[in-house]
């Protein structure tokens, strides 16, 4: 659990908001958004501690392989992948980001995962296995269909 300051936001939450503001400034200056987004994602992954870094790299490889049309970018300081309108479809949050016990793979509302009146939009991720890869491959494929 993160400690909140008198202002109501934890240090990690304030850092995420500052990261988002910096991302928006950088996106506005960039002429090659795909290259700058990819660079930002890879730099963010490199800063992660193990085993989060290894999971993030596997997620990155899977998303860019299954959905190459998605644009890599950082989103609130997290690796994310956006559609052609710039809307984040899928993101990865390392456990170290908010000092949680697991990494999270999440999908935003533009992901096509609808399944009746209720469906999951985020998943705890603790290790990479063939079964995990298979499930995530299907989810990412559905998300962009």
pLDDT digits (tens, 9 = 90+) for 35-51: 889 999 999 999 999 99
DSSP letters, 19-80, are HHHHHHHHHHH-S-HHHHHHHHHHHHHHHSPTTHHHHHHHHHHHHHHH-TTSEEEEETTEEE
43-88 pLDDT per residue, tens: 999 999 999 999 999 999 999 999 999 999 999 999 999 999 999 9
Q: Is the pLDDT of residue 91 over 90?
A: yes
pLDDT band for 31, please (50, 70, 90 cuts).
Answer: low
Residues 6+ apart with CB under 8 A from 97: 12, 16, 77, 78
CB atoms inside a 10 Å sphere around CB 127: 11
Q: Is the pLDDT of residue 1 over 70?
A: no
């Amino acid at each position: 659990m993160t400690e909140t300051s008198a202002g109501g936001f934890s240090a990690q939450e304030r850092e995420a908001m500052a990261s988002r503001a910096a991302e928006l400034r950088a996106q506005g200056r960039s002429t090659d958004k795909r290259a700058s987004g990819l660079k930002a994602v890879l730099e963010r992954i490199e800063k992660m501690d193990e085993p989060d870094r290894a999971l993030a790299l596997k997620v990155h490889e899977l998303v860019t392989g299954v959905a190459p049309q998605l644009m890599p970018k950082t989103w609130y300081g997290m690796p994310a992948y956006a559609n052609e309108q710039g809307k984040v479809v899928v993101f990865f949050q390392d456990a170290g980001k908010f000092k949680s016990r697991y990494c999270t793979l999440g999908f935003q509302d533009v992901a096509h995962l609808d399944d009746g009146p209720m469906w999951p939009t985020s998943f705890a991720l603790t290790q990479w296995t063939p079964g995990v890869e298979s499930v995530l491959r299907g989810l990412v494929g559905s998300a962009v269909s």
